[in-house]
A and B are shown apart, each in its own frame.
Chain A
Amino acid sequence: MGIEILEDKCSGCSLCVKSCPFGLIKIVSREEVGKPHPKYKKIAVIGQGCNLCGACLEPCSFQAILIEREEAKPRPDVSQYKGVWVFAEQKKGEIQGVVYELLGEGRKLADKLGVKLSCVLLGKGMDEGAKELIAYGADRVYQIEGAILRNFQDDPYTDVLTDLVEKEKPEIVLMGATAIGRSFASRVAARLGTGLTADCTELAIDLKTRQLLQTRPAFGGNIMATITTPHNRPQMATVRHKVFKKAVRQGNRNGEVIKENVEGKSLSLRTKLLNMIEDITQTVKLADADIIVSGGRGLGGPENFPIIEELARTLGGAVGASRAAVDAGWIPYSHQVGQTGRTVCPKIYIACGISGAIQHLVGMQSSEIIVAINKDPNAPIFKVATYGIEGDLFQVVPALTKKLKEVLE
């Protein structure tokens, strides 16, 4: 039980040493630890603290590492659990975008398993919402109504969903990894004593076992892990907004709405929601931004920065600038990206009219995706760009903004 280095197989090659994210593997002399071998002089030793993550398995070309999972007493019968559920998060009566994406993916999972796709919608006055969920692919909607459910609160929502799950026994429950979804899912999973995988980027069904394969990034995205919940139900997973594609709306779809009212019931409520304050004026901070659109010398003047700002706004990102633009006084220094400005590492960095001098590159070259828009085909920025667009930024940027507005809305 646990992890074991197979004495007869390990050659002490040390490839596993570098792979352990916790630095727990050491190579020692076989003689010292009393494990002699006719061919090999060294052997790997795993220190305390191993959490069986399995990162060392892949690099070992001798198959000398074995991870064994202990089998407990007979497991509950999970075959009784059927159905794919999507929690339909709503805020102020509006169903959140991620729900439609989960419906798209949930449909695929449900079809593969040959089961129904259902939604659980909690709120007050959500009749229209329930119909929309059907239009986007739900076969059934459990619409639970009550004044206490108008806005999300941990306690009543957890009571309602866990009760419903225990009654209806879905095999999979999906939620958006939103501020609400992440803590709500944790509560529900803990109460049901089942497994929850957060921030999945891929979901699939292993038909042999009918298990949900939940893939997610770990260690800041440096590795991917595929996780399963073999013996507990429901299998719960949260997924971030924009990971999956939105389902296609079919206005004439048929489905079942099971409406229930909790007005009479006593649900726990230990927290009191006093106020909800919107703060949309807060500009996205450059350092934390996932998306940054930067303008450089190619903009020609401060009056042209608005097209950069518009693109940034459309993407929900921040505005950056090269030193040239800042020095020319077109935009304040707080937006400067580069050696003497900020170093950023967003998901998308769009450099418009920026030549890509090394002093700028050192500030943004570890961005996940770099898009360069520049008139000069020899601009050094194209060497580091994931996608390069050779063109006039005054035409490309507005076209990009327009296309994005179409697609994102």
Chain B
Amino acid sequence: MEYFLTEEQRMIRDLASRIAEEKIKPVREHYDETEEFPWPILEELAKTDLCGVYIPEEYGGTGGGVFELCLAVEELCKVDGGIALILAATALATFPILLFGNDEQKKKYLPDIVAGKKVAAFALTEPGAGSDASAIQTTAKREGESYILNGTKCFITNGGEAQIYVVITMTDKTKGSRGASAFIVEKNTHGFSFGKKEKKMGIRSSPTRELIFNECKIPKENLLGKEGQGFVIALKTFDASRPGVAAQALGIASGALDDAINYSRERVQFGQSISSFQAIQHLLADMATEVEAARALIYATARMIDKDPKLRVTKEAAMCKLFASDVAMKVTTNAVQVLGGYGYMREYPMEKRMRDAKITQIYEGTNQIMRNEIALALIKEAAKTKK
């Protein structure tokens, strides 16, 4: 389908596609097996200026927005849904700085992210606070010119490899959801350590770790925005980053669909290619329709966010994340089915897509939470318009 991309958007898409084909494809199996962090790929993304595709020019980026980030993430994920997280998960942590950071903070952290020298991670989830984010227990206490952090975060993407962490903590438990604050914590700060690396079903090249704060002292300058803005920052960040997760899901689904179509044309059974059987054709037709619908929804949402930052986009961002991730799970499952036995074999790149797709239904807000948010938004809108 023609989305009338600008020339620069086409350049971004084509460049990301080239990196995916030339640099990621040959090594995707390796990183899935070894679970190493793909630093060489980060270097390629940085050299081609893709790391800064959503970052303003004054900090070294190319001045694009959520749409450009989604284009890049989608292309990379067509080939591998996990390796792209070095860009996408960093973006999740960079949005808080972009949206709420002051000039010093932006100048301090953004250039290194653009140059691929540093990777970032966003830390909200705790063992007792998943969907119920307001139940976080990590605290940050002001002491003179510093804050002291105590607590544990878990399931943090890029944990251990990132140098820059945006951490949501409680600064005032009495204020409830208005008592949280966001801080930037750098790796190697005294009192900040990591737990074990998690073993996951999919996106295995992406490191997932516990963050442990034990009397971790950080300068007061590392507060993002104002005290009490913690959850506001988190929610606004998710509005910008959820299309990115959706793009990840879309890329995974799209890659799966393409491979399934190609395979069905080559595979001959009962004297003909299986693409001539209606059962396969209907599967493919449904898959393709859902993928295209997901794409259209994501692109429209991303364009909305970029065109007018003042618009309320929580509902749409939740919709595209919900829809695209559900599509990805369904499409990858059916794509494995089209490949039959070969789809189940680790030697073929298909099963990995199914393993990778699952997380998109879970992180950055489970799809159940997405439904909650959408419903809430619908009811609110209806209440407003009712005279």
Contacts and interface: CB of A to CB of B under 8 A. Distances in A.
Interface in A331-358: 340, 358
A340 B348 contact: yes
Contact of A358 (B268, B347, B348): B268
Interface residues of B, number: 4
A362 interface: yes
Interface string A309-346: 00000000000000000000000000000001000000
A157 B12 CA distance: 51
Interface in A350-409: 358, 362
Interface residues of A, number: 3
Contacts of B268: 358
B266 interface: yes
Nearest to B29: A340
A358 B348 CA distance: 15
B348 A362 contact: no
B254 to A, nearest CB: 21
A325 to B, nearest CB: 15
A358 B263 CA distance: 12
A132 B76 CA distance: 62
A358 B268 CA distance: 9
A362 B266 contact: yes
B347 A340 contact: yes
B349 to A, nearest CB: 9
Contacts of B348: 340
Contacts of A340: 347-348
A121 to B, nearest CB: 47
Contacts of B266: 358, 362
Contacts, number: 5
Nearest to B349: A340
Interface in B345-386: 347-348
Interface string B320-348: 00000000000000000000000000011
Interface in A267-308: none
Contacts of B347: 340
A358 B267 CA distance: 9
Contacts of A358: 266, 268
Nearest to A341: B347
Interface in B237-283: 266, 268
A358 B342 CA distance: 13
Nearest to B348: A340
A362 B347 CA distance: 16
B267 to A, nearest CB: 8
A358 B266 CA distance: 9
Interface string B14-46: 000000000000000000000000000000000
A362 B348 CA distance: 15
A64 B40 CA distance: 56
Contacts of A362: 266
Nearest to B347: A340
A156 B347 CA distance: 57
A340 B345 CA distance: 11
A386 B348 CA distance: 30
B32 to A, nearest CB: 15
Nearest to A327: B347
Interface in B63-103: none
A362 B342 CA distance: 15
A230 B65 CA distance: 63
B272 to A, nearest CB: 14
B276 to A, nearest CB: 16
A360 B118 CA distance: 43
A134 to B, nearest CB: 54
A340 B346 CA distance: 11
A254 B233 CA distance: 96
Interface in A5-38: none
A340 B348 CA distance: 7
A250 B255 CA distance: 66
A362 B266 CA distance: 10
Nearest to B263: A339
Interface in B156-200: none
B228 to A, nearest CB: 55
B23 to A, nearest CB: 17
A102 B366 CA distance: 75
A152 B266 CA distance: 52
A362 B268 CA distance: 13
B263 to A, nearest CB: 10
B274 to A, nearest CB: 12
B196 to A, nearest CB: 31
A340 B347 CA distance: 7
A370 to B, nearest CB: 19
Nearest to A359: B342
Nearest to B268: A358
B50 to A, nearest CB: 28
B316 to A, nearest CB: 41
B348 to A, nearest CB: 7
B27 to A, nearest CB: 15
Nearest to B267: A358
A234 B348 CA distance: 58
A155 B266 CA distance: 56
A340 B263 CA distance: 13
A340 B268 CA distance: 18
B353 to A, nearest CB: 16
B22 to A, nearest CB: 15
Nearest to A323: B347
B338 to A, nearest CB: 16
B140 to A, nearest CB: 51
A274 to B, nearest CB: 35
B124 to A, nearest CB: 40
A326 B266 CA distance: 23
B270 to A, nearest CB: 15
A391 B119 CA distance: 60
A176 to B, nearest CB: 36
B223 to A, nearest CB: 52
A96 B268 CA distance: 50
Nearest to A362: B266
A54 to B, nearest CB: 35
Interface of B: 266, 268, 347-348
5 contacts: A340-B347, A340-B348, A358-B266, A358-B268, A362-B266
Interface of A: 340, 358, 362
Complex A-B, nearest 5 residue pairs according to Cβ-Cβ distance, in ascending order = A340-B347, A340-B348, A362-B266, A358-B266, A358-B268
